Chain A
Amino acid sequence: SQQGEEDPQALSIQEGENATMNCSYKTSINNLQWYRQNSGRGLVHLILIRSNEREKHSGRLRVTLDTSKKSSSLLITASRAADTASYFCATARLSGYSTLTFGKGTMLLVS
Chain B
Amino acid sequence: DAGITQSPRHKVTETGTPVTLRCHQTENHRYMYWYRQDPGHGLRLIHYSYGVKDTDKGEVSDGYSVSRSKTEDFLLTLESATSSQTSVYFCAISESILAGGRNEQFFGPGTRLTVL
Question: A residues within 8 Å of B by Cβ?
Answer: 2, 30-31, 33, 40-45, 48, 50, 88, 90, 92-105
Contact = CB atoms under 8 A, between A and B. Distances in A.
B9 to A, nearest CB: 10
B99 A97 contact: yes
B116 interface: no
Interface residues on B, range: 20 to 34
Q: Indicate the member of B1, B48, B105 with the most A CB atoms within 10 Å.
A: B105
Contacts of A44: 107
B98 to A, nearest CB: 6
Contacts of A40: 110
Chain A contact residues: over half helix, strand or loop, or mixed? strand
Nearest to A1: B59
B70 interface: no
B45 interface: yes
Given A2-B42, A88-B43, A105-B42, A96 B104 contact: no
Given A42-B107, A48-B104, A102-B42, A97 B98 contact: yes
B99 A94 contact: yes
Contact of B110 (A42, A92, A99): A42
Contacts of A104: 40-42
Interface in B82-116: 90, 92, 97-100, 103-110
A32 B2 CA distance: 21
Given A30-B99, A42-B90, A43-B90, A99 B107 contact: no
B74 interface: no
A103 B44 CA distance: 9
A98 B41 contact: no
Contacts of A105: 42
Contacts of B98: 96-98
Contact of A99 (B41, B97, B106): B97
B104 A30 contact: no
A102 B104 CA distance: 12
A103 B40 CA distance: 10
A84 to B, nearest CB: 18
B3 interface: no
